[in-house]
Structure 1
């Protein structure tokens, strides 16, 4: 019985010792001979930016319209309505009221005695008559003449929708209209394509005639529509 107990203890010792040896061998295999944890190589996906092909056309380069460099003042009228100016630009005449623009973006700011003030990208620009220094204040009289006869000779005609024309009551002071064949009783509807929808438009007629050299009047006579060219 004593011999059997001794064998059992020896077997347990051998089993425990063998287990420890196997554990030590497993640790050595996992950690390596130097005790360092083995590195695990993971695949790295490299992302390379590729140029994106496109068939879109290159944006067009738009050149800004330059303002004419041959500006000149041809006519002027000042007044409580802001006045107006006839300006020569690029070989053409332009009839402008304050706020209107020329090709290139120059805008008429205001009209003063003997000069017109323009504004553009480079700032304000003054246009004056060549002899502005010798001109009296009366130089602001419109080149087309006094618009008063036009206003006195035309009576507004109103309908259900408001002003629809101007009836000519007299040709006194309007020889250009008389020569062109316009008659008293005719109702003026438009001039050079612009409807005569306000008294301001009537006041502009002599200046527009002076600026353009003619007026194409559309009128109603005895219920019929017709057009008459009025030369300066």
Structure 2
């Protein structure tokens, strides 16, 4: 039986710049079933790879895509988009791709008062292969900054350690102590370990380990559609 994802009314995916949170968000959106879903792109940090770039593909699959309005540069604080506020208040199921690190979480913070009105899940994506977040203490500090800026609390971790096409089962296994340490420092469970679909048979024995949680098969890499 297919595992059910996005069980909370609102699911937020956040993480350090380059952690792979947008790729995870896109794969998560593609995995939904049942009630309609709206994907909100609030990534103001990376203008070159954003979930809203995949609007046509996602909307063809029944996922509505909403991005906030920006004034000036891509790093400006977003203007309050009436569509975003209305959807958050409507009770619809929502997936939010938040911006990288605390700077990107600024947009998320603008809507924190609406998000917190309903049960929400906030998943923090970690990647041991990324500079400035390769140590558990660094990843934990980044999360503190994201939570402070967004005014929301994370509820779980996603270990997305990879080297793109060069990812191996060994790399994944070597990242487990890192994920366990981040879990210990933050007090958050590892909910998912992202793994390229073709590698799943080689690592499925790890599923259920507290440092792994549930394996989340991913289509990688996700290439921009331009």
TM-score (norm 2): 0.27
Q: TM-score normalized by structure 1?
A: 0.27
Structure (1 or 2) with the greater strand fraction: 1
- Larger helix proportion, structure 1 or 2? 2
For CA contacts below 8 A with separation 6 or more, give which structure has more relative contact order.
2
Greater Rg by CA: 1
